[in-house]
Amino acid sequence: MEAGEQARKDALERAWADTHAVNQRQRPELPVGRQPDGSAIRDRMQQENLNIMAHVVYGMYVLPVGLTAIIGLILAHVLKGKAQGSFLQTHFRWQIRTFWLSLALTVVMVGAGIAAMGGFAVTGMQSVGGVVAALVTGIAFWGVLGLIWVWFLYRVIKGWVYLVQVKEIG
């Protein structure tokens, strides 16, 4: 190995150490040993990038625009394979399940709400009892949708807290 090449690798390793010295939290070590070609440094940097992307996905889930959640879902699916064998894989799986379960529950509730409105339309709401039943059903419908949203936020916050604590989830 040439002296210049060794100096370059040493400088790269020092730069990486200086850049990441700010972060005082303990990160789990990668199962990769130190290779003389610097691949351990690249693997560590890739792990850090995946960690950042897991934060990005959680952030996209809490933004109040549905499109960001879909982009977050796509990112989670793509990055899950790259995080194979690390604690981040559990977070990407958690994010994917959170999205699909909340979507399924929302679709079921919207279907039930449409069916209930159709039932009221057919039977008519000429009586006070029909109007009260429609109001109670509407309040229950929006209440359950609100609970689904709270459950979604709970899973996002729990996952994000575990990610910050460098813990597996799920």
Per-residue pLDDT, averaged over 141-162, amounts to 92
Which of the pair, 139 or 11, is modelled with greater confidence?
Answer: 139
Q: What mean pLDDT, rounded, does the chain reach? A: 79
Query: Cβ(62)–Cβ(158) under 8 Å?
Result: no
CA 36 to CA 40: how far, in whole Å?
9
Burial-class residue 98 by CB neighbours within 10 Å (0-12, 13-18, 19+). Answer: buried
Number of C-alpha atoms within 13 angstroms, CB side, residue 159?
29
Q: Please state the pTM of the whole predicted model.
A: 0.66
Per-residue pLDDT, averaged over 99-109, amounts to 93
pLDDT in tens, 45-73: 778 888 888 989 998 888 876 788 888 89
Per-residue pLDDT, averaged over 35-40, amounts to 59
Which of the pair, 35 or 14, is modelled with greater confidence?
Answer: 14
Query: Cβ(96)–Cβ(76) under 8 Å?
Result: yes
Query: Cβ(123)–Cβ(155) under 8 Å?
Result: no
What type of residue sits at position 9?
A: K
Evaluated on CA atoms 41, 42, 46, 52, the torsion sign reads positive
